[in-house]
């Protein structure tokens, strides 16, 4: 990242925002229906959505005290912790997410109940399957396993309507790295299976990024557990052959188009778009595009690239980040991607919209069809947004959630 963006980022940021696409930009914002509602206490919270019915949070119970001599720590240095999660039903017609109200420990068989999964920086994806019954499959990834190391582990779980209690299956070591992020394709066209994309860092700070593509199959008949088949761990490279480098990556995927957002040096933010090839388990990533400055970004994409929403035709994107490295302003930007394939985001005419104060924002889009009609243009986007964040940086603190829907102002 340093050699690619360190000197020229400031010059290109405004260019990236204003000229990201030849398409005409719209003013896309979020109308919040729930603001700063406390749902838990934890550290490094992440939120995921199955795209229509459910949302799930996952976090570390505590960051824990650093070991002597108390150095300044990055995420990767913080001691491991037990993980906890919470499921909520997206009640768009009522304008909120109905969380269970009680976080549960992540459990890893064959360990007995009470032996919690521990590690660092968990990330989670949800995939919804239509059928009888209707089921969700969860994919969780994290660093550290039962040790404070760079091993990366994944774990599958599932729940079927009407229950929201996830049945977790055993954790498996799949790679080595740091700050893993995972996403499931909720716009996939295959029945009962979908594409999963995982990205992680090679080292603990700004470093080379690696990815894996997986094919996820949901629960089978007679209680057969879900399964995932991973492709090879592959380094991300730029068009000149140099490695793509970043920190705290976040990934989302819609109809086999992946978007990756990460930090570069000194809070430089960039994104890359990639076309997923499920036959070779590879992604053709575009070169990173700078779009601003900030910390701990999160991104979510939704759409099949063809359908039109009330905020424009094409895939919808929302990104959020901290404006400071510590507790401070959280902002979001929205946009959409058009073209086949799209090469950049057409951002809203207003970006970096303030919405909260805190740390570690996380966002997840879903389509529901219940969003109210925007009186300014008589259209309804049908696209809602669930967001979470800690109210303070550092150790575990209050986790708030937000819920709203996207509107486009003429």
User: What is 57-94 written as a DSSP string?
Assistant: EEEES---PPPTT-----GGGSPPEEEEEEEEEEETTT
Q: How many whole angstroms separate alpha carbon 322 and alpha carbon 332? A: 9
Q: How many whole angstroms separate alpha carbon 141 and alpha carbon 119? A: 10
Q: Is the pLDDT of residue 231 over 80?
A: yes
36-40, 60-64, 167-171, 332-336: which range is least confident on average?
A: 60-64
66-75, 130-139, 201-210: which range is least confident on average?
A: 66-75
6-10, 17-21, 132-136, 349-353: which range is least confident on average?
A: 6-10
Which residue did the predictor score with more confidence, 305 or 283? 283
- Number of independent structural domains in the chain: 1
Give the residue ranges of DSSP H helices in 91-246. Answer: none
Q: Is the pLDDT of residue 158 over 50?
A: yes
Query: Residue holding tokens 């243009």?
Result: 377
Q: How many whole angstroms separate alpha carbon 269 and alpha carbon 266? A: 9
- pLDDT (mean) for 333-349: 92
Query: The domain spanning residue 307 has which CATH number?
Result: 2.120.10.10
What's residue 379's pLDDT?
79
Q: Is the pLDDT of residue 281 over 90?
A: yes
End-to-end CA distance of the chain, in Å?
Answer: 37
- pLDDT (mean) for 183-193: 83
What's residue 147's pLDDT?
53
The percent of the chain in helix, strand and coil, each rounded to the nearest 5, is 5, 55, 40
What's residue 112's pLDDT?
66
What's residue 223's pLDDT?
65
DSSP structural state of residue 225: P
Which stretch of DSSP H or E encloses residue 14?
A: helix 9-18
Residue 17 pLDDT level (bands cut at 50, 70, 90)? very low
- pLDDT (mean) for 1-21: 36
Dig out the tokens for 163 from the structure.
Answer: 């229950």
What's residue 370's pLDDT?
81
Residue 239 pLDDT level (bands cut at 50, 70, 90)? very high
What's residue 311's pLDDT?
85
Residue 385 pLDDT level (bands cut at 50, 70, 90)? very high
- pLDDT (mean) for 102-119: 82
Residue 361 pLDDT level (bands cut at 50, 70, 90)? very high
State the pairing for strand pair 151-160/135-143: antiparallel
Question: By percentage, how much of the chain surpasses pLDDT 70?
Answer: 86
**How confident is the prediction for the chain on average, in pLDDT?**
87
Alpha-carbon torsion, ordered 39, 44, 49, 55, to 10 deg: -20
> pTM value?
0.90
What's residue 29's pLDDT?
95
Tell me, rounded to whole angstroms, the distance of Cα 297 from its chain centroid. Answer: 9
Q: Is the pLDDT of residue 3 over 50?
A: no
Beta-carbon contacts of residue 185 (< 8 Å; ≥ 6 apart) = 127, 194, 195, 196, 197, 253, 254, 255, 256, 276
Q: Is the pLDDT of residue 77 over 60?
A: no
C-alpha dihedral sign at 361, 45, 317, 230: positive
Q: Is the pLDDT of residue 309 over 80?
A: yes
What's residue 409's pLDDT?
83
Q: Which of 263, 387, 365 is nearest to 324 (CA)?
A: 263
What is the domain range of residue 50?
2-409
What's residue 372's pLDDT?
84
In this structure, what are the phi and psi dihedrals at residue 222, rounded to the nearest 5 degrees? Answer: 60, 30
In this structure, what are the phi and psi dihedrals at residue 375, rounded to the nearest 5 degrees? Answer: -65, -20
Residue 19 pLDDT level (bands cut at 50, 70, 90)? very low
What's residue 107's pLDDT?
84
What's residue 267's pLDDT?
94
Q: Is the pLDDT of residue 36 over 80?
A: yes
Q: How many whole angstroms separate alpha carbon 60 and alpha carbon 105? A: 10
Overall residue count recorded for the chain in this entry: 410
> How far is CA 254 from each of CA 36, 146, 196, 303, 305, rounded to the nearest angstrom?
28, 33, 10, 6, 8
145 contacts 166 by C-beta, under 8 angstroms: no
Q: How many whole angstroms separate alpha carbon 142 and alpha carbon 173? A: 10
């Amino acid at each position: 990242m340093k050699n690619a963006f360190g000197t020229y980022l400031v010059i290109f940021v405004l260019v990236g925002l204003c000229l990201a696409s030849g398409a005409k930009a719209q003013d896309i914002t979020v109308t919040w229906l729930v603001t700063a509602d406390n749902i838990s206490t934890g550290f490094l919270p992440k939120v995921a959505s199955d795209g229509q019915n459910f949302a799930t949070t996952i976090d570390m119970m505590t960051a824990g005290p650093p070991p002597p001599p108390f150095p300044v720590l990055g995420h990767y240095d913080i001691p491991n912790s037990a993980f906890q999660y919470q499921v909520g039903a997206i009640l768009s017609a009522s304008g909120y997410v109905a969380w269970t109200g009680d976080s549960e420990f992540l459990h890893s068989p064959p360990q007995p109940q009470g032996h919690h999964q521990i590690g660092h920086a968990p990330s989670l994806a949800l995939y919804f399957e239509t059928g009888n019954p209707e089921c969700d499959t969860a994919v969780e990834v994290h660093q550290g396993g039962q040790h404070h190391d760079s091993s990366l582990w994944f774990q599958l779980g599932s729940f079927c309507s009407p229950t929201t209690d996830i049945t977790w299956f055993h954790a498996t070591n799949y790679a080595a790295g740091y700050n893993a992020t995972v996403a499931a394709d909720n716009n996939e066209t295959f029945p009962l299976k979908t594409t999963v994309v995982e990205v992680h860092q090679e080292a603990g700070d700004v470093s080379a990024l690696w990815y894996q593509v997986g094919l996820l199959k949901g629960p089978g008949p007679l209680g057969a557990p879900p399964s995932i088949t991973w492709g090879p761990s592959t380094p991300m490279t730029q068009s000149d052959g140099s490695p793509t480098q970043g920190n705290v990556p976040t990934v989302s995927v819609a109809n086999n188009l992946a978007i990756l957002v990460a930090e570069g040096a000194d809070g430089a933010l960039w994104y890359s778009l990639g076309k997923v090839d499920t036959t070779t388990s590879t992604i053709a990533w575009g070169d990173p595009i700078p779009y601003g400055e900030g910390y701990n970004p999160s991104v979510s994409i939704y759409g099949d690239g063809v359908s039109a929403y009330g905020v424009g035709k094409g895939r919808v994107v929302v990104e959020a980040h901290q404006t400071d490295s510590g507790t401070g302003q959280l902002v979001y930007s929205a946009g959409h991607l058009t073209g086949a394939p799209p090469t950049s985001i057409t951002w809203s005419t207003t970006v970096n919209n303030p919405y909260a104060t805190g740390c570690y924002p996380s966002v997840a889009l879903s389509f529901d069809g219940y969003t109210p009609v925007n009186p300014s243009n008589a259209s309804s986007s049908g696209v809602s947004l669930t967001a979470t964040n800690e109210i303070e940086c550092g150790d575990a603190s209050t986790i708030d959630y937000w819920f709203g829907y996207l509107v486009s102002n003429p």
